[in-house]
Amino acid sequence: MKPWIAVLLAACIPFAAVANEGGESKEGPPKVVYYSLNPPLVGNYGMDGGPRLHVYKADIALKVTGPEALAAVKHHEPLIRNQMVQLFNQQSLEALSSGESKEALRQEALKQTQQVLNDEEGKPVVEDLLFNNLIVQ
């Protein structure tokens, strides 16, 4: 290869890289992220005055789309955690004993999380709430 061709090609490579970084690149749809509340929530529930202490451990993930939504969830995580702790503390033993009641709790947790974020951010931000693990004793 002739030396002047190599120099010409080397000079063109940076311009090709800049052209690809321009507005022509398509990022595609926003990315879905499942953000886990760490550490898992642990606490007492069903404080009915009985002799036995009831304990829960909830590993919760929040489904969000896009970096702005993820940043909002991270920023308001202490408020979200507080809301979840209050919700779990209000539960009775019967409310956490069946699959249907756990699904109802999941739906209520999603609703309250969306309400908190709607109050703070002006939109619900969280699309879904999942119990990765829910242990009750």
The CATH number that domain 32-136 falls under is: 3.30.479.30
Q: Measured between alpha carbons, how far is 27 from 116 in angstroms, rounded to an integer?
A: 30
Q: What is the pLDDT along the chain (137 residues), one digit of tens a residue?
A: 555 444 444 555 444 444 444 444 456 788 999 999 999 999 988 776 667 788 999 999 999 999 999 999 999 999 999 999 999 999 888 878 888 999 999 999 999 999 999 999 999 999 999 999 999 88
What is the pTM (predicted TM-score) of this model? 0.75
- Please report, for residues 14, 19, 29, 31, 70, the alpha-carbon distance to residue 25 in angstroms, rounded to integers and kept in the order given: 16, 9, 13, 16, 23
Asked whether the bond before 40 is cis by omega within 30 degrees of 0, the reply is: no
Backbone angles phi, psi at 92, to 5 degrees: -95, 170
The pLDDT of residue 1: 53
The pLDDT of residue 98: 85
